[in-house]
Structure 1
Amino acid sequence: MSHDSSELRPALPEPGHPSSSPAPPRRGPAWSSDEDQEAVPQPTTPYDGPHRTLRLLRRAGRRQRRVAAFLAVAPFALFLALTVEVPSLMTRPAPGGLPTGLLLALVQLPFTWLAVLLYEWTARRFVDPLARRVRDYDRRDAPAPERAP
């Protein structure tokens, strides 16, 4: 079962892209004569296909890496900042008798696991369907292998 919802919606044209939508032919200014102007043809093919899918795949991968890296690095950076800026807080006992610094250091491990789990979930949900679509484009375009008699 695929969670790829991009197939449910039509591809949206990109603003400013030459083939984003079949626009009416351009004409000159109203004060010029129409007989001097020729219509400029616009491409009519929609901007969809392997290039769009590759661009979406790269974008999804970048977003995924940024979020996962932030979730993995943020607790460590917070721990370091509190250690440098407020050392008295880090030595104060937390509930349970452990020093606050040690408790924050131990919290980093589950937070890193959370970042890995989120990375895996977003890969399956958003990135893998795009990668499958790119692979399908490649298979359609590749020549059929020749069989030996």
Structure 2
Amino acid sequence: STLTRRPKRGTTIREFDPCSDHYVQAYLNRPEVQAALHANATKLPYEWQPCSSVIKKWNDSPTTMIPLIKGLMGQGVRVWVFSGDMDGRIPVTSTKYSLKKMNLTAKTAWHPWYLGGEVGGYTEEYREKLTFATVRGAGHQVPSFQPKRSLSLFIHFLNDTPLPDTSRY
């Protein structure tokens, strides 16, 4: 049956290291790393953690990032929004609904982008200098699940070039 068949290579997250959070925490708590990042200059009495109970109440978190994103775009800043297509915390559909509320004008239609001859995800560009891209096979922390596709996304953002739309890449 299809349930017992082994998935094709690249279709699972077997290359994801579940200990990566521990490595990051150890690295970011090294004194020389904190000095290089100009972090912990006040010498806090506790270590940095990705999730901490130090802050007991957080009341200034916005319910939506849409006004901030619109403000950045209004200042001429290019914005790229990306989602892992396997993200259970913030699904692609939620991000698309948020973008729809911004009343943007499509510059390119929803289409696949490629890396290494494979679909890396899907993307859409808007006239207001916003690009939305999905990353195929990625969960919530996209670079942890798909580092090569994430790097491609980042390089194209820095170079201000569209994601490749042919399988030659």
Normalising by structure 2, we get a TM-score of: 0.19
**Higher RCO (C-alpha 8 Å, min separation 6):** 1
Normalising by structure 1, we get a TM-score of: 0.20
**Bigger share in helix:** 1
